[in-house]
């Protein structure tokens, strides 16, 4: 069985022409797939009945994600879904909405997608990392998460504006499927989302960052740093290499040179672990003149014992970086109370 959401537009075109049909039949499949949300091949009536039958007989399907659980934040801006995928696996996906920038405009609607079920990176402060690794998701499973929320938004007269690969799993550890999904979602004959509206977040797999830099894509890159030195980073990220901090900084520098896109370093701030003013000074020295951006993320409640620093400590940490010339912001978290924020996704912890 082959899911039509797996095919790039060029592959869809080859499929129909190899079956003896004109090229335009490919667009008669692609347009409904990404804008009409069919659940079955027979839900595409503009295709000849004979072609629909031949596609079905050849084992082609439309793999829609099925919603099995939904939780919405108190302010209504964050929605977390547990989706059953066509391969019968379940995964969490989150929609975060922000107020429109102009009166009467659409809200910014960002979908946080997952690339794996579980994660093998083992970050001690992350709920997903603590559930271990189960499986990689195929490109069509990643795309189906976006399509599911796109349909929900379409019913509200809204649309997907941004996409972040910050859900369950390490995107670079599932590189080929992740990048296929990105190309489908950004193709002008596919979902058509602008490349600059996509960000991929990684724990810092250098080989994956290098490959991404060569893709000739204008997507954003966020690298999880969390510590300014290798000793502390190894404690927080057990899979980190002996020189991971230096490797991460160099990878980010190379990505910027290749793409011209400024890299964001994510820093989960944990009370008594990596939030001291001395560590802030060390981080400032490490990143001074780097040209990157630091996203300070006060740690979210997870299954671990890590605590969020006080607002005053977060502010002091930010000020040290800013005064040293390091561009930084404190992330405004959404969905914390429904375990939908950074580091909280875990399919066996739905409530």
Q: Any idea which residues carry the catalytic annotation?
A: 92, 342
Eight-state DSSP code of residue 41: G
> Is-contact 81 335, C-beta < 8 A?
no
Tell me which residue has tokens 């102009």: 102
Q: What are residue 294's DSSP bridge partners?
A: 265, 328
- Say if strands 220-224 and 264-269 run parallel, antiparallel, or are unpaired: parallel
For the stretch 281-289, contacts whose Cβ atoms lie closer than 8 Å and that sit 24 or more positions apart, written own/partner, are 281/320, 281/324, 282/228, 282/229, 283/228, 283/321, 283/326, 284/320, 284/321, 284/323, 284/324, 284/326, 285/228, 285/324, 286/228, 286/245, 286/249, 287/249, 287/321, 287/326, 288/324, 288/325, 288/326, 289/325
CA distances (Å), origin 207, targets 87, 176, 212, 239, 260: 29, 13, 9, 15, 19
Q: What are residue 53's DSSP bridge partners?
A: none
Cβ-count burial 89-103 (b if 16+ within 10 Å, e if not): ebbbbbbbbeeeeee
* Cβ-based burial of 328 (10 A; exposed 0-12, middle 13-18, buried ≥19): buried
């Amino acid at each position: 069985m082959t899911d039509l959401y797996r095919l790039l537009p060029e592959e869809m075109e080859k499929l129909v022409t190899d079956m003896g049909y004109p090229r335009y039949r490919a667009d008669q499949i692609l347009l409904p797939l990404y804008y009409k949300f069919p659940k079955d091949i027979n839900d595409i009536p503009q295709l000849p009945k004979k072609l629909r039958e031949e596609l079905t007989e050849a084992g082609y399907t439309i793999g829609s994600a099925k919603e099995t659980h939904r939780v919405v934040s108190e302010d209504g801006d964050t929605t977390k879904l547990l989706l059953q995928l066509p391969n019968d696996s379940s995964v969490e996906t989150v929609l975060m909405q922000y107020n429109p920038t102009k009166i009467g405009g659409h809200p910014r609607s960002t979908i946080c997608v997952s690339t794996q079920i579980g994660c093998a990176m083992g970050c001690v402060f992350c709920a997903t990392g603590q559930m271990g690794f189960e499986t990689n998701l195929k490109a069509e499973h990643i795309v189906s998460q976006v399509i599911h929320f796109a349909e929900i938004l379409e019913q509200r007269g809204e649309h997907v504006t941004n996409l972040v690969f910050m859900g369950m799993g390490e995107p670079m550890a599932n590189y080929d499927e992740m990048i296929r999904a990105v190309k489908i979602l950004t193709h002008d004959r596919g979902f058509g989302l602008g490349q600059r509206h996509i960000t991929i977040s990684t724990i810092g797999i250098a080989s994956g960052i290098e490959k991404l830099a060569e893709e000739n894509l204008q997507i954003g890159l966020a690298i999880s740093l969390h510590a300014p030195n290798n000793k502390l980073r190894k404690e927080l990220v057990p899979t980190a290499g002996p020189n991971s901090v230096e490797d991460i900084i160099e990878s980010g520098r190379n990505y910027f040179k290749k793409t011209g896109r400024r890299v964001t370093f994510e820093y989960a701030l944990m009370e008594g672990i990596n939030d001291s003013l001395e560590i802030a000074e060390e981080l400032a020295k490490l990143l001074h003149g780097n040209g990157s951006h630091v996203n300070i993320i006060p740690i979210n409640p997870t299954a671990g014992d890590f605590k969020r620093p006080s607002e005053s400590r977060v502010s002091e940490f930010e000020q040290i970086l800013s005064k040293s010339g390091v561009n930084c912001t404190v992330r405004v978290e959404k969905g914390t109370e429904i375990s939908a924020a950074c580091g909280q996704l875990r399919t066996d912890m739905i409530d």
